Every structure is written in structure tokens, then in C-alpha cells.
Amino acid sequence: VVIGVLSSKNPAERRTPMVPDVAKKLRAQGAEIVMQRGAGAGAYLSEADFPDVQWVDTADEVLARADMLWTVSPPDEATLAQLRPGSTVLGLLAPYGSADRARELAQKNITAFAMELLPRISRAQSMDILSSQGAAAGYQCVLIAAAFCPKFFPMLTYAAGTIRPARVLVIGAGVAGLQAIATAKRLGAMVEGYDVRPETKEQVESLGAKFVDTGVSAAGTGGYARELTEEEKAQQAVKLGKAIAQADVLITTAAVPGKRAPLIVTDEMVRGMKPGAVVVDMAAETGGNVAGTLPNQDVWVGGVRIIGPVNLPSNMPVHASEMFSKNLFNFISPFIKDGALVLDDTDEVLTGATLTANGEVKHPGVKQALG
Ligand code: NAD
């Protein structure tokens, strides 16, 4: 099997799906790797770092040879058009993002594995790109907030007295939120966490943060949350409103797969926050958890700064790429035998992550969502 990697056309995407260690292991399994000059540069990797890779100048050359394309983001129109019929694509493919893209992948008989669809089961943890990149994003959120917060995060004793620690509230305690809580704790803040899945209470508390109990529980399927009813939203708003009003920093990470991010923090709640408070809305790209958030912008609502970062893992491309690449390797390497790709359609993890195969959109949830 020939594995292809393109260089990023988007300067804001600095991650690469292939790192030298993984290339070496793939070579040992008999795979060939073809990369476009410039791939990896965003993560400070040069051609000399990849002794196991063949380098070519253009995307055309990669796509003409690749049986399998590894990618950190969905292929654009031009790349889609050039993918070889019958080939395989593997990476983050934003499966719910575009019905046209899914249809085109199917029409071209591409086997597309969207790592967003990976089943969240124990065996698949080492392949879980949403988790590895979510951890990077959660960590970054806190650093951004700390940089803009007009207060110290930790308690500080100085010659003239004592500074009280900043109060940080994290809404959404999945992988990113828990990493945000852990990071804010390490910086010494007083941290509170909140989520609608009841099992998160213990996880939040085990990190030394306080859980905000709203009495709303909304566990959905596959370990994810479901959308809240109007009544539940109202109940959540009352309890959360108090915690939000006291926070110096609010970090929101709430998501429901395949849906717009839940709007949890209303304009009224933002206006009730302390002047100087900083909000980092990690859900900015999927609509935002906070009223007024704009992706990739800072918005001021009264004295409150709302930051809507996008693609946070790209800000730490070295470790984000390393994790990404290892996750992809763990997913596909069991199916590379003597250099050939031998897929097994009885494998629960492989089939779970299949967006398209055999000319069809396979994933039932995506099929339904895209209509
Ligand atoms: P996610 O990114 O889909 O959502 C982030 C968080 O937002 C979730 O914790 C969700 O419960 C929460 N949320 C949704 N609606 C909300 C609302 N209205 N108010 C407050 N919070 C809301 O989730 P994720 O971080 O990708 O993880 C989802 C689950 O999968 C977690 O339980 C995680 O531990 C689990 N998981 C399991 C494995 C595994 O076993 N292989 C791997 C990774 C994650």
C-alpha cells in the first residue's frame, strides 16, 4: 500500500498526520509513504527527519500514486476530484459537515474512515483522535484565558498581603473540558466544572475542582450527551447563572455530535459577568456555547471579552501531530499485512469509523443527518 500525505494548503493548519516515528513503523510493515514537499513543515519537520519517505513536488504526484491518503482535515474540492477511485482516505473528515462531500466520496468509491466516527470503546482509545486533539484544545483554552485574564490565576502572597486566586468555570467536562480543568488547577485557580452527563461529577472532583450541580442529567448514546429539553435548559440556566456571574474566566467546551453546539450561556448571563471577565468558547466553530461568540474573533460584550478560537490543536503542532499520527497508525496498522492493505469489514472499530465504502455513505447517523 502506498500512503500519501499532502502539504497543508491552509497556513492556519500546521499539523501533519505523518511523523517520522510512524513513517518508520509503516515502512517496517512494508508500506510505502509518499509525501509532498512542505508536508510537516508547520510542525517543524523537514525532509531529513523522514528517511523512510519518498518526497515529490506536487499534490498531483502524491494523489496519482497513493492508495491511501492520510489527512488532518477534509480534502478540499480539488483534492477530492483527484482522489483515485477505489482508494482509501483516513483522518478527520468532518463527516457531518457536508452532504456533498460524503456523496462525492461515495460516488468515487472511496473508502473513507472519518476518525470523528470512531466508536468510543476501550479498545479504540489508542486511536481516538477526538480525544488527543481535544486534550490539546482544552489545554490551549486555559493558556489563552490566562493570558487575557486581568488577575493572577493562583493565590499569591506578596509583601503587602494576599491575592485571592481567580475563579475559573469550565462548562462541558468531556475530554477537552477535563484537560482545561486540570490545566487551570495546575495554574492555581479555583476551578468549578459542569456537564450534563452525571458520571462527570466524579471526574471533575477527582481533579480537585468543584462540580456545579444543576440537577439536569442528559446522558445520550455512545457515552455522549443528548440535546436538552426546553424545561431542562431553563433549570440548567438558573443554577449555572450563579456560577457564571462569579467567574473570572469561563471556558465552554460543550458539544453534541453532529449537532450545532448547545447555546448555554445567554446574552443576559454574559452581561451579568464581572467586568474584565474572559470567556473562551471552544465551541466557536460549531456555533458557540455562548451568545455573541464569533469564530476566530474577540468580541466585547460590555466589559467581558469573548474569545472564539478555532483549530486550537494547530497552535501546538508538534505534540498534536505526534498524537494524531500515532492514533491513525494504531487504527490502520493491524490491517497492513506484508505491505498490503487488507481491511476487515467485521471489525467493529473499522466499520464504526467508516463514512463511505462500496459506493455508499455507510454511517447510519451521518446518513440520517445529511438526508
Ligand atoms: P464532546 O466533545 O462530544 O462534548 C463535550 C462535553 O460537552 C461532553 O462531556 C458533553 O457531555 C458535554 N455537553 C453536551 N451538552 C451539554 C450541555 N447542554 N451542558 C453541559 N455540557 C454539555 O465529548 P467528548 O469530550 O468527545 O467525550 C464524550 C464522552 O466520550 C466522554 O464521556 C468521554 O469520557 C468519552 N470517551 C470515551 C472514550 C473511550 O472509552 N474510548 C474515549 C474518549 C472519550
**76-81 mean pLDDT:** 95
Catalytic residue among 125, 126, 206, 217: 125
What integer pLDDT is reported at residue 59 of this predicted model? 98
User: What does the block give as the cell for 278?
Assistant: 474572559
Q: Read off the pLDDT band of 369 (50, 70, 90).
A: confident
Best residue among 129, 175, 229 to mutate for probing ligand 1's pocket (most ligand atoms within 8 Å of CB) is 175
User: What does the block give as the cell for 280?
Assistant: 473562551
**12-26 mean pLDDT:** 98
Q: Which residue's CA is the closest to the ligand 1 atom numbered 18?
A: 262
Distance between CA atoms of 148 and 270, rounded to whole angstroms? 17
Average pLDDT, the chain: 95
Ligand 1: does its nearest atom lie under 6 Å from the Cβ of 276?
A: no
User: Is 224's pLDDT higher than 90?
Assistant: no
Ligand 1: does its nearest atom lie under 6 Å from the Cβ of 198?
A: no
Q: Which residue's CA is the closest to the ligand 1 atom numbered 30?
A: 223
Coil vs helix vs strand at 317: helix
Q: Which residue's CA is the closest to the ligand 1 atom numbered 2?
A: 255
Ligand 1: does its nearest atom lie under 6 Å from the Cβ of 130?
A: yes
Q: Which is it for the CA torsion 94, 100, 105, 106, positive or negative?
A: positive
How far away, in angstroms, is 10 Cα from ligand 1 center? 28
Buried b (16+ CB within 10 A) or exposed e, 122-154: eebeebbbbbbbbbbbbbbbbbbbbeebebbbe
Coil vs helix vs strand at 286: helix
**DSSP string covering 119-137:** ---GGGGGG-HHHHHHHHH
Query: CB count, 10 Å around CB of 180?
Result: 35
Tell me the pLDDT tens digit for each residue of 110-155.
Answer: 999 999 999 999 999 999 999 999 999 999 999 999 999 999 999 9
Tell me the pLDDT tens digit for each residue of 163-221.
Answer: 999 999 999 999 999 999 999 999 999 999 999 998 999 999 999 999 998 888 888 77
So what's the ipTM on this one? 0.94
Distance between CA atoms of 36 and 59, rounded to whole angstroms? 6
Q: Which of 149, 192, 144 is nearest to 172 (CA)?
A: 192
What integer pLDDT is reported at residue 98 of this predicted model? 87
Distance between CA atoms of 207 and 186, rounded to whole angstroms? 10
Tell me the pLDDT tens digit for each residue of 49-58.
Answer: 999 999 999 9
Q: Which residue's CA is the closest to the ligand 1 atom numbered 42?
A: 120
List CB contacts of 321: < 8 A, sequence separation 6 or more: 15, 16, 17, 19, 40, 43, 45, 72
Distance between CA atoms of 338 and 88, rounded to whole angstroms? 18
How far away, in angstroms, is 269 Cα from ligand 1 center? 24
- 29 and 339 Cβ atoms separated by less than 8 Å: yes
Instruction: Decide the pairing of beta strands 336-337 and 304-307.
Output: unpaired
- 180 and 153 Cβ atoms separated by less than 8 Å: no
**DSSP string covering 221-255:** STT-B-PPPHHHHHHHHHHHHHHHHH-SEEEE---
Ligand 1: does its nearest atom lie under 6 Å from the Cβ of 224?
A: yes
How far away, in angstroms, is 225 Cα from ligand 1 center? 6
User: Is 276's pLDDT higher than 80?
Assistant: yes
- 310 and 284 Cβ atoms separated by less than 8 Å: yes
120 as an active site residue: the answer is yes
- 147 and 230 Cβ atoms separated by less than 8 Å: no
Q: Which of 94, 96, 371, 114 is nearest to 258 (CA)?
A: 96
How far away, in angstroms, is 315 Cα from ligand 1 center? 22
Distance between CA atoms of 242 and 52, rounded to whole angstroms? 56
Distance between CA atoms of 88 and 356, rounded to whole angstroms? 10
Ligand 1: does its nearest atom lie under 6 Å from the Cβ of 223?
A: yes
Distance between CA atoms of 339 and 29, rounded to whole angstroms? 6
Q: Which of 345, 329, 317, 272 is nearest to 15 (CA)?
A: 317
128 as an active site residue: the answer is yes
The pTM assigned to this predicted structure is: 0.95
44 as an active site residue: the answer is no
Ligand 1: does its nearest atom lie under 6 Å from the Cβ of 257?
A: yes
Distance between CA atoms of 229 and 242, rounded to whole angstroms? 21
Given the C-alpha cell 476530484, which residue does it identify? 81
101 as an active site residue: the answer is no
